[in-house]
Chain A
Amino acid sequence: MDEQIVQELIEIVGEKNVSTAQADKITHSYDATQEVHLPDVVVYAARVEDVSSIVKLANRWKIPVLPRGAGSGFTGGTLPVHGGIVLVLTRMDRILDIDTENLTAEVEPGVVTGELQRQVEKLGLFYPPDPASKEFSTLGGNVAECAGGPRCVKYGVTKDYVLGLEVVTPTGEIIRTGGKTLKNVVGYDLTKLFVGSEGTLGIVTKIILKLIPKPAAKKTMLVQFETIAGAAQAVSAIISAKIIPTTLEFLDAATIDCIRDVSTISLSADCKAILIIEVDGEAQLLDEQAEQILSIISPFGILDTRIAATDKESEEIWQVRRIVSPSLGKINPDKFNEDIVVPRSKVPDMICALEKISMDYDVPIVNFGHAGDGNIHVNVMVDLREHGMADKMIKVMDEVFAAAVNLRGSISGEHGIGTSKAKYMSMELGAETIGMMKKIKNVFDPNNILNPGKIFEDTSLQTAGK
């Protein structure tokens, strides 16, 4: 790294916010993908003007800039695959305004999702998007990845709540998109373009979010099924009865095997699938709704139904869902975790396809996720030390994604493309569509400064120099 660049960075944000120490490079070289790419320099910024100056500097020196939030991304979005400046935004963490008249919130990008939720809930308001990482992921990261979670069945994902943004463009201009109003048709909807752009089109420095009134009450149910097919049919039946629960999570037999020993709720030996169903709204309507759901699903081979009567019991049910991820390692050391999504009615077909792939290739596949919106977390559990396993995995993943796309689904519901899934983009999108996206990237970022090497597989975009 050119000493001159470091000097200029220091002039912008001060000495203690710039580091080229090896230890700092190491601690900013990874995210939840566990891949490692060292940056050339680590910078902490706290003001939009500084972000802008840093990006302009990067354009002058032709050096990549990688926006970084909590580093909890699952697809390598914040990894400096071509080196460069890791620009950390966790200290831009002020909630600037919670407007109880217009039901909006204005925040800096480093605010942690769960913290905003707690603050607005104190005022009787609600920010629904609930990625499982909400207690540590940042809203900037959520916007960049368009994060979603269990509640999205009913309430939608991050993009449904972003009203306006302040963004530093890849050439360093500070622009504002959208605003505080629910309606806005002035010019192109750049807000939507930035949401989900994975830090490749701009650095978000301020976010205006829509809030809704907090639901008065909720009711959580855990239902054990004899077969996965039964559970899948139950999901379809609920949706086609035009009932939209808040959440509709499912766990398959392999998942249940992983958690049976650690679950505080006893799970029957015959239980081959679980649905966790939650409804919310006015307290007096909930009992009726819950009963309706239970009667709709009753023909599908139910072993046991548990309805939480208190918050504590509801928490206990959710705990069953939360212990899933950490418990999977029991099967095999290496986990390939994908988050494909299919139209909701196709969930049973997708499950069948996955069972077939698992048999054909003789690899354990553990599935759980958000049945209500067709988003399935597919975890292929293998031991990469086994001879030939790595090659086999390439084929398995190809088949998993192909199956999703064939059902008119998508290769990622929440986690984004980043580096991990770039090579599968062409399975889902035609060359013209990808070409159009690249053109957009080029217009925004002629020097390919911002987060190069992400989303698009080939680096035919000029790679940023050092």
Chain B
Amino acid sequence: MSKNKRLQDFEKVIHECVKCGVCQVHCPTYQAEKKEGAVARGKIALAAALLEGQAGLEERLQEDISMCLMCGSCVDKCPKKVPTNEIVGAVRREITENQGLSRIGKTVSTLLGSKVLMKTLSKSGAVLSPLVLKKIPETSGLRLRFPLALMKDRTVPKIAYRNLFDRIPEYTEGDSDKPIIGFFAGCSITYAYPEIGEHMVAILKRMGYSVYLPRSQKCCGIPALSSGDGKLVEKLSEANVAAFADKDVQYIITACASCNGGIGEYYKTMKADYGDFTAKVIDFSVFLQQQGLFEQLAGMDKWPERVKVTYHDPCHLKTQGITKEPRQLLQALPNVDFVEMDHASSCCGLGGTFSVYHYDVSKAIGARKIPGLKESGASRIATGCPGCIMQLQDSINHAGLQVKAVHILDLLAQALGK
């Protein structure tokens, strides 16, 4: 039996949609396209038609279903809490499995097939040296996002020559009276932004914790989920749950909002016994707040030269209600002047693999962040998700602003000094 929910499992909630249209306000793809097929309400109507077995839906249905970042913004504000992001995931899996409907298959899932991918990648030697590439597992979500690197005009991070696993030992011993914290780094941090991972470990160590960074951890599964590869999601979830079972970890900390949404939120919806694992998953900002770090920081002398920093809400934190902690952390930092921006909570536009096949829409969604960012006068936009950092920097570069997208942990590490 599949561990992922099937479309049928959503039949009841699909019929709970009252067609009010509230989701239009919160859906980034609708805001960019102003088209009913792009909004949650439209996708739910299509999912309902699919369940009824209506014929003749293939092509446009796939296009509409592809027009979703699975960000969950609609769910948050829906009076009926219809989980459109999960429903879209189920439809995509249905499409991938069902050979009759395989247009998304062509645009997205084939990126999974390593042969096609390898062929494309081999043309991009300049960006990805084969040596580096060899170290990125076949199943990594980064591979699904790699085509980004080939896209014209696209700002992408360099893949680090020495990844996080080369830099940090699997187990770092802390004080004997402090528990072990598991660190789920995720592909982006492990391979593209290992410094963020180093900061995370350094801070935990400083607080006296032992840190366990199991080598057997895999991609969280969000890119595979977004491209409709249910089998791969299943495989990854099993591997990740197993990876942290070897040690008695008190928490499994993440510094990547997408990963948190994957191993925390998505695994919760799976038909599997993952409760013990998902209960331990915690975002770094929530963890640091619980440990009283914010008060400590607030007690430090403010630096005379501070940078003006604003904050972008990653969808995967926002939809869990984690909006205060990251802001409080930034406000407490002695090296930072925190300012709010308009549209702080609107999606950056990356969305799993969305950006790969809808780069124009993705760019349009990203561009919506720019006026607010400009008005805020900030020189840094901080966030808690490396995916957002990459996309925000791309939008900023297109707009020609002199702003840098950073991780909150970069600023925290700076404040604490090495």
Q: Which A residues are closer than 8 A to B by beta carbons?
A: 19, 21-24, 26-34, 44, 70-72, 88, 90-91, 93, 110, 114, 133, 135-137, 325-326, 329
Which residue of B22, B60, B79 is within 8 Å of A24 (Cβ)? B60
Distance between Cα atoms of A44 and B36 in the complex (Å):
11
- B 15-31 to A, binary, CB cutoff 8 A, 1 in contact else 0: 00011111011000000
Q: Does B98 belong to the interface (CB within 8 Å)? A: no
Given A22-B56, A325-B79, residue A90 in contact with residue B20 (CB < 8 A): no
B7 to chain A, nearest CB (A): 16
Report Cα–Cα, A33/B55, bound state, in Å.
Answer: 25
A93-B34, A326-B79 known; A70 and B42 CB under 8 Å?
Answer: no
Could you give 25 example pairs across A and B, Cβ below 8 Å? A21-B59, A22-B57, A22-B60, A23-B60, A23-B61, A24-B37, A26-B46, A26-B49, A27-B36, A27-B46, A27-B64, A29-B45, A30-B45, A31-B19, A32-B18, A32-B21, A34-B19, A70-B24, A71-B21, A88-B35, A133-B21, A136-B21, A136-B24, A136-B25, A325-B79
Cβ of B178 < 8 Å from any Cβ of A? no
Nearest to B22 among chain A residues (CB) is: A136
Q: Is the CB of A32 within 8 A of B20?
A: yes
| CA A137 to CA B22, docked complex, whole Å | 9
Given A28-B36, A135-B25, are A23 and B64 neighbors across the interface (CB < 8 Å)?
yes
Size of B's binding interface in residues, CB under 8 A: 27
In the complex, whether B80 has a CB less than 8 A from a CB of chain A is yes
Q: Shortest CB–CB separation between residue B45 and chain A, in angstroms?
A: 5
Q: Which of B21, B42, B45, B49 has the most CB of A within 10 A?
A: B21
Residues of B within 8 A of A26 (CB): 45-46, 49, 54, 57
Contact of A27 among B22, B45, B56 (CB under 8 A): B45
Contacts of A329 in B (CB 8 A): 80
* CB nearest to A135 among chain B residues: B25
**A90:B18 contact, CB within 8 angstroms:** no
* Most chain B CB within a 10 A radius of its CB, from A26, A31, A91, A326: A26
Least CB separation from A133: chain B residue: B21
Q: Which residues of B contact A91 (CB under 8 A)?
A: 34
Chain B residue contacts of A32, Cβ below 8 A: 18-21
Residues on A with C-beta less than 8 A from B19 are 30-34
Question: B49 — which chain A residues lie within 8 A by C-beta?
Answer: 23, 26
Q: When the two chains form their complex, are residues B45 and A90 in contact, meaning their CB atoms are under 8 A apart?
A: no
- In B48-79, the 8 Å CB interface with A consists of 49, 54-57, 59-61, 63-64, 79
Chain B residue nearest in CB terms to A20: B60
Residue contact B20 to A72, C-beta cutoff 8 Å: yes
* A-side contacts of B59, CB under 8 Å: 21, 23
Ranked nearest first, the 10 interchain pairs of A and B with the lowest CB-CB distance are A326-B79, A23-B60, A21-B60, A27-B42, A72-B21, A90-B34, A22-B56, A136-B24, A23-B61, A27-B36
Question: Which B residues touch A21, using CB under 8 A?
Answer: 59-60
Find chain A residues with CB under 8 A from B56 CB: 22
In the assembled complex, the Cα of A27 lies from the Cα of B80 at a distance in Å of: 19
A90-B35 CB under 8 A given contacts A32-B20, A136-B24: yes
Contact across chains for B57 and A23 when beta carbons are under 8 A apart: yes
**In angstroms, how far is the closest chain A Cβ from the Cβ of B271?**
27
**In the complex, chain B residues whose CB is within 8 Å of the CB of A325:** 79
A23 close to B79 (CB less than 8 A)? no
Residues of A within 8 A of B22 (CB): 135-136
Chain B residues contacting A19 (CB-CB under 8 Å) are 60
Which residues of chain A are near B60, meaning CB under 8 Å?
Answer: 19, 21-24
What's the Cα separation between A65 and B54 when bound, in Å?
26
| Closest CB in chain A relative to B211 CB, distance in Å | 39
Q: Chain B residues near A137: list those with CB within 8 A.
A: 21
Chain A contacts for B37, CB-based, 8 A:
23-24, 27
Bound together, the chains give a CA A24 to CA B35 distance in angstroms of 10
Chain B minimum-CB-distance residue to A68: B36
State in angstroms the CA–CA spacing of A88 and B61 once bound together: 19
Docked Cα-Cα span, A22 to B45, in Å, equals 12
A283 to B114, CA, bound (A): 66
User: In the bound complex, how far is the Cα of B175 from the Cα of A153, in angstroms?
Assistant: 66
